[in-house]
Structure 1
């Protein structure tokens, strides 16, 4: 019965989130001296680099705010068997928000990484450090306002909006980031920019950080930006071939060479559930159907039928992908697939979506989770063996795993509550 399946996985997911993953980051990532979060953590949580990465700090602030916004202190203590303190999570998130914004945002620049003490270490000419700092600040601000800490909350939301305005400008005109434009390079539309912007706009509204009206007061037209994001993402959806491409030309036509054949199943699935979330919030049923296709096409194309798990990269014509890591199995595409199929099942109750969720969840929990030290490994080879023993690094922090577990736990709990009583 579906109820038995839902209950079994709901318990597994709850244990992973509250007994393993969040406690790992709570124990090992917090810099109590300067503020902010460390990301470079070995298998047992031992720190192997002191740098602080802006996008990972923004994501962890967001994650802590999300947990604190969903649970009271007593609920969180009960779920985590007294390991997690809501007060401590909020304090650590707020210290990180103050530290990273004060040291990592200068004259319209948002640095990618800082030293432990807060000196800028590296700057990338991309939008994503700003994106996740904005997401974290806005989400935390909403929770503080919810808790009655109005001035602190509004201050963080104001900073989030300032960053969001910069992000929107960079999304439409990336030349303002200072990236050199080469004469021979075609003008392209990468999917990562509109999908992340759409998710930020969606999250900040759902969490109550911004409204259409408050954003308009900051000279941000939320509806217009959401529509732009959706239109840009739709350029990548090739219905005739039943695939989602990572990069297309700016007009939506195919990009020449291997760039135009590049497929990233994890990104496509993630973009699919971002679109689905937006479609559900705006009651756009046709767009929800497109999102379902994006998810199922990408999952079917990306699943390794010989060894299980999702390939990292594929070539749309079946050629050998040029990226050497193409056949590795990374943690985050599996997280995105778990979220996507849980969302699709909740929306449709289709058995095929529950089966797909079970398929990816079984592989993911068996191969990535570490019951010995907590948290998950991030990188496997094609046959499912761990290739990198660390739990956190420059590109893996407290985000994809806990976001997946939190969302799936919430979704499965709602599905169980709707099941008929025997």
Structure 2
């Protein structure tokens, strides 16, 4: 595999990948969601789509509604001002505005097709992606209302960041108080999404604390790995939660950190993030069947998650983004070698040649486990964002 890359002219290879990823985004992924997810009767989007795009469940999950609003408004802002994309984003945003929040401004986790609350607002990621959605939509069609929704929701996230589930938290207080990596990871990206609303100075103030949380609290240099849960003081907790590794989260976070490093012109931070990303990828790669494990236990104990050995779509496409950015920002050819390896696995295993879009869930051997194209966790987000990031990153080189 290394020899195959070395025999290629790098610029031609990057040009090929850039065109391939752009074509897949514009000709396959976005049309699939445009054609199948729009709820013309009630507003918002259906995300529970089977292999062919047929709706198999009508519940609406607010974090996926927000992700799809973000996706189509982002593409409108960054590729071309396509009115169909903007209208698709507005369609979802109108539904979210009307039904998505409780009286305190917290975003529910799920609603019925008509917009009646199903699950309480326990999950702060509904709020995170609502913030991203309305911030992005405000760039496409600036209004005081969109700005205020994004700002109010962001401020609510900051208030809740130390106890994200609030009264819905099942943990008994004081016995094993752990910090989780997910929110600091997302805040890396969210802060940049909000810059036109918060202002450059506010974001510049915010960035160091986020970088510290990711790189000094959850990253443990003695392991060379990012932990998913740590004690309040950042120390290791020898428990199911404390031993948990989520290679996809760590890899995704490292491209967020690389973006922040580029913004603040910190070459050492970029190099460090690239090195952590490569080490995590090597650690999480299945040496027997290929692909990246979903979860691992730091000590090799049986993971609590029964799905630990599955191969998931988002893990692999986020790795492709991180590798593309790692190469673009550092010139490290290991990133390019790994990119081709992960690319071959991802495009051969996840892409559905028959019905379009990509599968989300494979078993350890790389066989399709569930043929769905969307559900409670998979929507219109990781794949289109990754295709965009890769094509733009390589195009710039």
TM-score for the superposition, normalised by structure 2 = 0.94
Is the Cα–Cα contact under 8 Å of residues 181 and 228 in structure 2 kept in the other structure?
Answer: yes
Question: How do residues 119-134 of structure 1 correspond to structure 2 at under 5 angstroms?
Answer: 119-134=116-131
Q: Counterparts of 1:11 and 1:181 in 2: how far apart (Å)? A: 48
Q: Which residue of 2 aligns with 1:279?
A: 261
Find 1:19's aligned residue among 24, 27, 32: 27
Residue 240 of structure 2 corresponds to: 258
- The residue correspondences of 1:15-414 to structure 2 (distance < 5 A) are 15-73=23-81, 86-108=82-104, 109-145=106-142, 153-174=143-164, 176-183=166-173, 185-205=175-195, 208-212=196-200, 221-234=202-215, 235-414=217-396
1:142 and 1:157 in contact (8 A); partners too: no
Q: Is the Cα contact below 8 Å between 1:126 and 1:177 reproduced in 2?
A: no
Q: Which deviates further from its counterpart, 282-291 or 352-361?
A: 282-291
Return the offset for 1:324.
1.1
- Pairwise CA distance, 1:209: 4.2
Deviation at 1:348? Answer: 1.6
**Residues in 2 aligned to 1:362 and 1:163: alpha-carbon distance in whole angstroms:** 39
Alpha-carbon distance between aligned partners in 2 of 1:190 and 1:177, rounded to the nearest angstrom: 17
> Is the contact between residue 323 and residue 338 of structure 2 (CA under 8 Å) also seen in structure 1?
yes
1:301, 1:325 → 2: CA distance? Answer: 18
For the residues of structure 1 that align with 2:393 and 2:225, how far apart are their CA atoms? Answer: 27
Other-structure match for 1:80: none
1:248 counterpart SS class: strand
Q: Which string of whole-angstrom CA distances, capped at 9 and with x for unpartnered residues, describes residues 257-280 of structure 1?
A: 222211000000011111111111
- How far residue 224 of structure 1 moved from its aligned partner, in angstroms, is 4.0
Say whether the 8 Å CA contact 1:189–1:232 is kept in structure 2: no
Residues 45-102 of structure 1, C-alpha deviation per residue, up to 9 Å, x if partnerless?
00011111110010111110111001335xxxxxxxxxxxx21221121121121122
**Contact 2:229 / 2:242 at 8 angstroms: preserved in 1?**
yes
- Asked if the contact 1:115–1:121 (Cα under 8 Å) also holds between the matched residues in 2, the reply is yes
* 1:192-213 deviation digits (Å, cap 9, x = unpaired): 01111221112222xx344146
Q: Check the 8 A contact 1:35/1:92 in 2, yes or no.
A: no
- CA–CA distance in structure 2, aligned partners of residues 284 and 9 of structure 1: 28
> Which range is displaced more, 57-66 or 153-162?
153-162
SS of 1:11 mapped into structure 2? helix
1: CA distance, partners of 2:317 / 2:193: 18
1:223 shift after superposition: 3.8
Aligned length: 387
1:419 — aligned with what? none
SS of the counterpart of 2:118? strand
Q: Is the 8 A contact 2:109 2:122 kept in 1?
A: no
- Whether contact under 8 Å (2:180, 2:229) holds in the other structure is yes
> Which whole-Å CA distance do the structure 1 matches of 2:359 and 2:52 have between them?
11
Large movers: runs of 4+ above 4 Å: none
* TM-score, normalised by the number of residues in structure 1: 0.88
CA distance in 1, matches of 2:252, 2:144: 30
How many angstroms does 1:123 deviate by? 1.8
Map Cα deviations across residues 285-340 of structure 1 (whole Å, 9 max, x no partner). Answer: 23222211221111010111111110001111223323211111000010110000
